[in-house]
Amino acid sequence: MTAREFISSIFVAVVLVSSTFLPAASGPAEENLKRISSATSDEDLAAALASVFKTATDEDLRRLISDPRPEIALAAGWERVRRTVPEKGDPGLPPATTKPAGQP
């Protein structure tokens, strides 16, 4: 099992367990968040996360990090961190990080 598969399985388990404690939904934004909580497979979860965080602003993420549902707060925190990691080959990376380890 790869690290990605392990993290994904843990995240799905958190979503499935915590979905029992969801508050009533209100409005379209809450409906999108509810899709994350009610995901039953990795594919459903990935689609729900993409739909929520694709247009989320930094302010939205700050608000969602405080959400009482752990799956939403965790996903928002992860998205915030993910947005700070440069894409591979990004010219803004320091030279030392653009070379594989052990390369001169």
Residues in CB range of 38: below 8 A, 6 or more apart: 15, 19, 22
What integer pLDDT is reported at residue 2 of this predicted model?
75
Tell me the two tokens of residue 52: 């929520």
User: In the predicted model, is pLDDT for residue 83 greater than 60?
Assistant: yes
Residue 80 to residue 53: CA distance in whole angstroms: 10
What integer pLDDT is reported at residue 23 of this predicted model?
43
Q: List pLDDT tens digits, range 15-59.
A: 554 444 444 434 447 787 888 888 888 888 888 888 888 888 889
- Domain limits, the chain: 23-82
Residue 102 to residue 104: CA distance in whole angstroms: 7
Q: List pLDDT tens digits, range 57-77.
A: 889 899 999 989 888 899 899
What is the average pLDDT score of the chain? 74
Estimate to the nearest angstrom the gap between the alpha carbon of 53 and the chain centroid.
8
Measured over the CA atoms of residue 68, residue 72, residue 78 and residue 82, the dihedral's sign is: negative
